[in-house]
């Protein structure tokens, strides 16, 4: 009788542990918004509208990152936004985005510094 009670309690405890593990959703590492869909559309149909939609989707994801479950912008989003700004001639905003990428993800510093240097050289702002 005592063994049955112990086995029953162990079974109930094991079922409780299993059920509690099923309910926990892992927190996402980063927020993307609808970046993936916009990026795919911009590559599938190259044009001004899709490029603008991609820019808007990145800006929206960045602006709303704090309200997302992860609270973080994915690596490369600021760099991608900076590249979009660079292609549209907004070099100051491009440099700002590259610097933001570098500050959040220091492992990108070497690449971001090279991008910024290329912009400065192209604009004649390089001070040696």
| CATH number given to 35-123 | 1.25.40.10
Place of tokens 């800006």: 59
Amino acid 15: pLDDT? 74
**pTM of this prediction?**
0.71
Amino acid 54: pLDDT? 85
Across the range 110-115, mean pLDDT stands at 96
DSSP E strands in 50-125: the ranges are none
Longest dimension (CA), the chain: 89
pLDDT tens across 7-43, in order?
Answer: 777 777 777 666 666 666 677 677 777 777 777 887 7
Amino acid 99: pLDDT? 97
Confidence of residue 126 (pLDDT cuts 50, 70, 90): low
Q: Are the C-beta atoms of 31 and 65 separated by less than 8 Å?
A: yes
pLDDT tens across 55-101, in order?
Answer: 888 898 888 877 777 778 888 999 999 999 998 999 999 999 999 99
Please tell me which residue, 111 or 60, carries the higher pLDDT value: 111
Q: Are the C-beta atoms of 84 and 62 separated by less than 8 Å?
A: no
Amino acid 18: pLDDT? 67
- Our separate counts of H helices and E strands in the chain read 6, 0
């Amino acid at each position: 009788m005592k063994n049955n009670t112990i086995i029953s309690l162990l079974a109930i405890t094991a079922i409780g542990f299993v059920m509690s593990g099923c309910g926990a959703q892992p927190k996402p590492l980063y927020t993307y918004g609808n970046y993936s869909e916009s990026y795919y559309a911009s590559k599938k149909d190259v044009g001004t509208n899709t490029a603008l939609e991609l820019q808007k989707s990145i800006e929206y994801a960045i602006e709303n990152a704090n309200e997302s479950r992860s609270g973080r912008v994915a690596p490369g989003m600021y760099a991608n936004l900076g590249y979009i700004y660079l292609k549209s001639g907004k070099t100051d905003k491009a440099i700002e985005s590259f610097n933001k990428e570098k500050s959040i993800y220091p492992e990108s510093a070497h690449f971001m510094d090279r991008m910024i240097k290329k912009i400065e050289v192209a604009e004649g702002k390089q001070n040696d």
